[in-house]
């Protein structure tokens, strides 16, 4: 198969399923610092499905509130905009990602569980690293691989060649994708992110999560650290996480990028972190369960 053209990629991106409109509108309102809590609550309440999903997530063990949250108004007040935003993106991501992607060997649910795993891991690392907005790391981890939705078919048709290059040269699977197809799932993911009007920070996380070392100079240090944390969470997800694809662990961890971003990693740090992340399974399951229940 010859390399994919940009027009082919754009056409595939256009064919992606529509995302839930109410949740997308709320996510965009949450990007606007002038949005009031009252306005936000009133928009969420109009959509019964979104209201029910927000309340189920709020009341899941993943958030651990001591009392039951019964109304959207309460939810907005108690969660704050940052947490509410990551929650709304979780609802959007389920619609987008809970589907099979055969080219990567992903059955229904795999990409969704993998995204939730990376999200929870990224947030945990961000909290440990005192990133100002760990919820943004959650959302970055959640959406990092949306390009796989578009690239799956092409990867499937060329899998043997991509794997052969990746394994024989010990290069990241994304680099082998690019070599064979002309695009990789990070680059294609940015196209998807733009179609879905995701904010620029998330577009950058999606674009650079496999290559966090040489970032464009316009990216500020705090954003570089965010991207690098999602990179680390992605690698840990490949190591111990749920729903990995057939490319498995054909990736590298860029320790130089971690150091450059100010994350002081060594053997003990990485092993302790892996030990902590292995204990987060109940959080991931609780998030998944709360969106699987009937409304």
Partner 1 sequence: MTMQQTDTVGLGELKLSSNKAQVFMVPNIGTGLAVVIYDPVKKLGGAAHIVLPESAMASPTAIPGAPNLPAKFADQAIPKILEAFEQEGGSIKNCVIRIAGGSQLFNFGGGSGNILNVGARNIAAVEAALAQAGLTVAKKDTGGNKSRTLRFVLATGQVFVKQIGGQEYPL
Q: Which of 6, 16, 20 is nearest to 54 (CA)?
A: 20
Contact between 165 and partner 1 per CB under 8 A? no
Q: Which two tokens stand for residue 67?
A: 């009392």
User: Do 119 and 139 form a contact (C-beta atoms < 8 A)?
Assistant: yes
The minimum distance between CB 254 and partner 1, in angstroms, equals: 5
| Interface with partner 1, residue 187, by CB under 8 A | no
Site map 122..161 versus partner 1, x via CB under 8 A? ------x------------------------------x--
Of 171 and 187, the one with the shorter C-beta distance to partner 1 is: 171
Nearer to partner 1, 39 or 269 (CB): 269
Q: Which stretch binds partner 1 (CB under 8 A): 4-12, 139-147, 240-248, 287-295?
A: 240-248
**Residues in 255-274 that interact with partner 1 by CB under 8 A:** 255-256, 258-259, 265-268, 270-274
Out of 9, 50, 250, 288, the residue judged to bind partner 1 by CB under 8 A: 250
Q: For residues 143 and 198, is the Cβ–Cβ distance under 8 A?
A: yes
Contact characters 106-125, partner 1, x per CB under 8 A: --------------------
Given 167, 197, 220, 289, the residue binding partner 1 (CB under 8 A): 167
Torsion of CA 219, 12, 233, 223, to 10 degrees: 10
Nearer to partner 1, 147 or 245 (CB): 245
CA 32 to chain centre: 21
Return d(Cα 171, Cα 221) in angstroms, integer.
Answer: 27
Strand-pair partners of 101: 106
Separation CA 72–CA 64 (nearest Å): 17
Minimal distance, residue 163 CB to partner 1, in Å: 9
Instruction: Name which of 144, 114, 146, 129 is nearest 240 in CA terms.
Output: 114
Q: Is 242 in the site for partner 1 (CB under 8 A)?
A: yes
H helix runs in 129-199, sequence order? 134-143, 148-157, 159-169, 173-181, 185-195
Structure tokens at 64: 């651990």
Burial per residue of 137-153, b for 16 or more beta-carbon CB atoms within 10 angstroms, e otherwise: bbbbbbbbbbbbbbbbe
For the bound state, the minimum distance from the C-beta of residue 97 to partner 1, rounded and expressed in Å, comes to 17
User: Which stretch in 6-14, 18-26, 29-37, 278-286 sits in contact with partner 1 by CB under 8 A?
Assistant: 278-286
Stretch that binds partner 1, among 50-58, 129-137, 141-149, 167-175 (CB under 8 A): 167-175
At residue 28, what are phi and psi to the nearest 5 degrees?
-70, -35
Question: Whose Cβ is closer to partner 1: residue 44's or residue 233's?
Answer: 233
DSSP per-residue string spanning 95-113: HHHSS-BGGGTBPTTHHHH
Enumerate binding residues for partner 1 (CB under 8 A). Answer: 61, 64, 104-105, 128, 159, 167, 170-172, 235, 238-246, 248-256, 258-259, 265-268, 270-276, 278-283
């Amino acid at each position: 198969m010859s390399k994919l053209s940009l027009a082919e990629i754009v056409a595939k991106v256009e064919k992606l399923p529509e995302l839930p409109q109410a949740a997308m509108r709320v996510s965009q309102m949450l990007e606007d610092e002038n949005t009031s809590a009252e306005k936000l609550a009133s928009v969420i309440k109009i959509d019964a499905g979104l209201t029910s999903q927000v309340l189920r997530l709020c009341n899941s063990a993943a958030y651990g509130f001591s009392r039951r949250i019964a109304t959207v108004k309460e939810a907005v007040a108690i969660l704050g905009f940052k947490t509410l935003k990551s929650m709304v993106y979780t609802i959007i991501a389920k619609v987008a990602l809970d589907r099979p992607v055969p080219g990567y060997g992903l059955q229904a649910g795999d990409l969704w569980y993998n995204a939730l795993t990376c999200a929870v891991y990224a947030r945990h690392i961000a909290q440990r690293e005192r990133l100002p907005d760990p919820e943004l790391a959650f959302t970055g981890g959640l959406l990092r691989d949306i390009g796989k939705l578009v690239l799956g078919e092409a990867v499937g048709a060329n899998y043997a060649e991509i794997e052969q290059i990746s394994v024989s040269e010990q290069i990241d699977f994304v680099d082998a994708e690019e070599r064979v197809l002309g695009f990789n799932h990070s680059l294609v993911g940015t196209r998807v992110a733009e179609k879905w009007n995701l904010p620029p920070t998330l577009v950058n996380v999606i674009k650079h999560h496999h290559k966090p070392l040489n970032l464009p100079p316009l990216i500020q240090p705090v954003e570089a650290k965010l991207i690098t944390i999602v990179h680390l969470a992605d690698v840990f997800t490949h190591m111990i996480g749920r729903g990995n694809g057939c490319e498995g662990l054909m990736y590298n961890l860029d320790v130089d990028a971690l150091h450059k971003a100010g994350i002081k990693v060594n053997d003990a740090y990485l092993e302790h972190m892996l030990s902590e992340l292995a204990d987060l399974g109940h959080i991931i399951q609780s998030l998944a369960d709360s969106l699987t229940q009937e409304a």
